[in-house]
């Protein structure tokens, strides 16, 4: 298997990825992008509108796999820049610590976090961004919402896979859950 893997990028081809997904949990990062005021209080939460893993169009946070030999901080930067654009200017500390660990299962009843493709363990972070964000081509839109809007029943209805719970956990971790 190692001979077929591109060691420079650490990506598996689609067939290899399917085999791995069926046998072991994958490590991911979830990043909840936020805007903060001059006191460091979260004022807005950024959420992407995109095609979800279950085939629906939904609001979601920045998320993606950690590559082989990739530092967590580097994975966060890579996914934030990919999804929010190179001018998002995420403020990630040198040694980031997640606010929670999320387990995504193929069975939505196990944890409430669901990914139909595989079992994944994700380290979740709240990441302030201060630059101009431009959603990637994979995203249909990027919206900024107040904490009350982000935690609302209307927003919950637009999210899948447990990301509504993840956003509420993120807001609670920074003391702004309405």
- Going from N- to C-terminal start, the domains of the chain cover 24-173
Q: Which CATH class is domain 24-173?
A: alpha beta
Tens-place pLDDT, residues 70-112: 999 999 999 999 999 999 999 999 999 999 999 999 999 999 9
- Using DSSP bridges, classify how beta strands 120-128 and 100-104 pair: parallel, antiparallel or unpaired: antiparallel
Q: CA 125 to CA 67: how far, in whole Å?
A: 17
Tens-place pLDDT, residues 121-169: 999 999 999 999 988 877 889 999 999 999 999 999 999 999 999 999 9
Would you say the pTM of this structure is higher than 0.85?
yes
Tens-place pLDDT, residues 20-50: 777 888 999 999 999 999 999 999 999 999 9
């Amino acid at each position: 298997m190692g001979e077929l893997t591109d060691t420079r990028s650490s990506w598996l081809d689609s067939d290899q990825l399917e085999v791995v997904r069926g046998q072991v949990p994958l490590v991911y990062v979830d990043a909840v992008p936020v805007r903060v005021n001059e006191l460091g209080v979260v004022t807005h939460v950024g959420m992407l509108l995109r095609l979800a893993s279950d085939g629906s169009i939904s609001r979601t946070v920045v998320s993606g796999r950690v590559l082989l030999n990739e530092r967590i901080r580097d994975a966060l930067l890579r996914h934030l820049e990919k999804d929010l654009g190179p001018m998002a200017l995420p403020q990630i500390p040198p040694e980031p610590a997640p606010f929670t660990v999320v387990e995504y299962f193929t069975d939505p009843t196990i944890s409430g976090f669901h990914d139909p493709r595989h079992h994944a363990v994700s380290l979740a972070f709240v990441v302030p961004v201060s630059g101009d964000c431009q959603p990637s081509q994979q995203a249909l839109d990027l919206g900024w919402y107040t904490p009350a809007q982000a935690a609302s029943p209307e927003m919950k209805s637009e999210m899948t896979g447990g990301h509504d719970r993840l956003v509420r956990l993120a807001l609670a971790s920074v003391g702004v859950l309405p």
